[in-house]
Amino acid sequence: MSFIPNQIFNPTGNDNTQERTIIKGNTTGLFNLNNTKYSWAKLMYTVMIGNFWVPEKISGLNEDSIQYKQELTEGEKKAYDGILSFLIFLDSIQTTNLPNFAEYITAPEVQLLLAIQAYQEAIHSQSYATILESVVDADKRDDIYYFRRENQILLERNTYIGKIYQNFIDNPNDENFFRWLIGNFLLEWIYFYNGFAFFDTLADHQKMKATDRMISYIRRDELTHVTMFTNILREIKKEFPEMWNEKIIYEMFTDAVIQEIKRAQHILGNNIIGINDYTTEQYTKRLANDRLSLLGLKPLYPEVKESPYKHLERLQDNNGEKTNFFESTVTNYTQSNAMQGTWDF
């Protein structure tokens, strides 16, 4: 069944919350936010707005620049550069992709969240630019930006992600939309996290702490994004059960895990204290199991019970983030101290 994007102005639409659906609704184009159906979206709006931050507020990158040049090993520099290249790609493609995705969401309270997410992804891109400008010499920055294009393993990974998004735009049917939605879920919930773990591990060894502080703000935003996509998927399962396809979910998760392990092992290798091929594989599989559990599905790798990176929770608690990747509740802090919020998946 083909998808039709929302009309910008539809005077014959219906804003009645009893008839509202997450997709395929008869929306008017009016953001009537006093009448909302999805209570989780209203709460998430408060949390996401309270998360406002800008990279210029993060201090200490000059010290990181000195450490990068004088203290990082060659393996750590390679990982730092390669992970930044991949993260730049992920946030760039999300900034471009999200407005397309929002055109098919027919709940205004959820459309509003997607608009905030697109803004946050743009802030993340600015953050990576700030890191590169502060830490890396000018003659090396373009190499990092385009390493993801020239390195075959990263190119393969990025092509896989890009095709999922492009296939729906080229052929907007139910199956391609569902794959598009799972692709967003995977990008937010699995693809970022080996990179985040690397920066946390460096910080645990007193290296590149300002970069890690920036990453902690980015990760905090990503947790709200994945919470949103978790809830969107739950609404799809409830309102459009004919679209829910566990075979596609497990197929895409399997592909994502295999490719993420290959990519992360290629970039991280075995030359970083606390990270090696084994921990990378176990961590990625543990992430997949946890993400599937949020959707009420059985683990893909039942033999993997724990994360190999015990230091992550301690570091996040020390930063005030209080984030547990493997529990169902997230407690956010805010840079502006405007508010604090919690929500359940």
283 in catalytic set: no
Tokens representing 281 are 């594989």
C-beta neighbour count of 251 within 10 angstroms: 13
Q: Which of 45, 128, 283, 301 is catalytic?
A: 128
Query: Which has the closest alpha carbon to 231: 300, 294, 287?
Result: 294
Tokens representing 301 are 């790798």
* Residues paired with 23 in a beta bridge: 105
Query: Which has the closest alpha carbon to 333: 251, 224, 235?
Result: 224
d(CA 259, CA 271): 20
Q: Which residues participate in catalysis according to the annotation? A: 128
